[in-house]
Amino acid sequence: MPITSPIIDQIPQLADYFVALYKEFHQHPELSMQETWTVERIEKELQSYGLEATRVGGTGTVAMLENGDGPVIGFRADTDGLPMVEKTGLEWASTITTSDVDGNNVGVMHGCGHDTHITCALLMAKLMNENRDQWAGTLIVIFQPGEEIGAGAIAMVEDGLWEKFPKPQAVFGQHIWPGLADEVTLSHGTAMSMADSIKVTVHGKQAHGSQPENAIDPIVLGAHMVTRLQTVVSREVAGSDMVVLTVGTFNAGTKENIIPDSATFKLNIRTQDEAVRKRVLDAVDRVLKGEALASGAPEPTIEPMYRFPRCDNNTQLAKELEQNFRNSLGEEKVNVTGPATGSEDFGILGDSIDVPYVFWFWGAYSDTKYKGPGTVAGNHSPFFVTDVPEQSLSTGIKAGLVAVLSHLGK
């Protein structure tokens, strides 16, 4: 049966409103766990709907809509931006700059689309609140900070999220990505990969650039480490095991004719199996220390930064939602796929209380722009932005409402 409701039917009437709201959030991105303007703006918007919000986990906030007897359902939207300069050229592009955790001045952009997540969740709250005669139960709308560094979900849980609010029967979440704006994609089972981020400090010996014999060059050593780390994926795990290892930063030195005494780089590892994860982490540790030993250098300092657990959709709940999406969005508008190589901390919200959850994706692009994978900018690109805000946001709002109304609708 299609999930039909006067609530969903009202989405087109609000297009000008939610597109303007989205653009406002897009212009005001903030880094992870620093979302002070964002959370205040969310709470102001909720208050305009007549809803109260409760701070949880620092810059997180939660609105609970109680509407008589019925199930308790959670819905999560993440709120943080990324440290990158926006290059979309839009009139409403972000021009925000700030300092990151290392004290560097960086641009800030909603380059992963969390501005759309916020907007969709706010519109869901607004529509559900204004149409209480169409549903029964309790909806908990969670605006979560710090997803990009895997800190927000655990911060909310540790701050008593599920002591302050009732335990839900299910939790739902969604993410925009480079696909067609009227389509959704979900997985049965594992939806997102585990991730480990590590900072490596390479210790060397400083000397004049003209006298390398007096130095232990941490740049050359670090370059060997970076190159050798790629063999962990190509030569130490089976081809059937999903592993991605990326070195995303490398910093060293202040002048071209000075060999510095240290270098730092940061790497990110994605896996989908705990045994493979352990094997890869052990190999990374061995390679880093072995290369230092081969260069006569001190052991590098290896510091775990953060990690993401595997995000596992409940299979039964995912299959039920898939059918509801097909009935409501259109049979050809729903895709089922395997696990993504990206990572999410969304699953912590359900795993922490042993509650089933489903996480899905919806698209950002028009069919005139999107011609398949790799034809458009993706998440974490300075060019990533929906070219059809009204259409894409409408899909995100509708998909979220279909998920919650499949449990709360009358």
Q: How far is CA 357 from CA 155, 192, 329, 391, in A?
A: 19, 13, 20, 26
- The average pLDDT across 200-211 equals 97
Residue 160 CB neighbours (<10 A): 11
pLDDT score, position 3 = 66
**Domain 6-192+310-408 = CATH 3.40.50.1980:** no
Question: Which residue is it, tokens 């959370």?
Answer: 39
Does residue 81 have a pLDDT over 80? yes
Cα 371 to Cα 296: distance, rounded to the nearest angstrom: 51
Query: What local confidence, expressed as pLDDT, does residue 1 receive?
Result: 45
User: Is the pLDDT assigned to residue 4 strictly greater than 70?
Assistant: no
Cα gap 143→78, rounded to integer Å? 6
Side-chain-side CA neighbours of residue 188 (13 Å) = 11
Taking only the tens place, the pLDDT of each residue in 327-350 is 999 999 999 999 899 999 999 999
What whole-number distance in Å separates Cα of residue 392 and Cα of residue 297?
Answer: 53
What is the pLDDT, as a whole number, of residue 101? 75
Look at residue 409 in the predicted model and tell me its pLDDT: 85
For the chain, the structural domain boundaries read: 6-192+310-408, 195-308
Token pair in block for residue 282: 């052990």
Confidence of residue 2 (pLDDT cuts 50, 70, 90): low
Query: Quick one: pLDDT band at residue 61, thresholds 50, 70, 90?
Result: very high
Assigned architecture for domain 195-308: 2-Layer Sandwich (3.30)
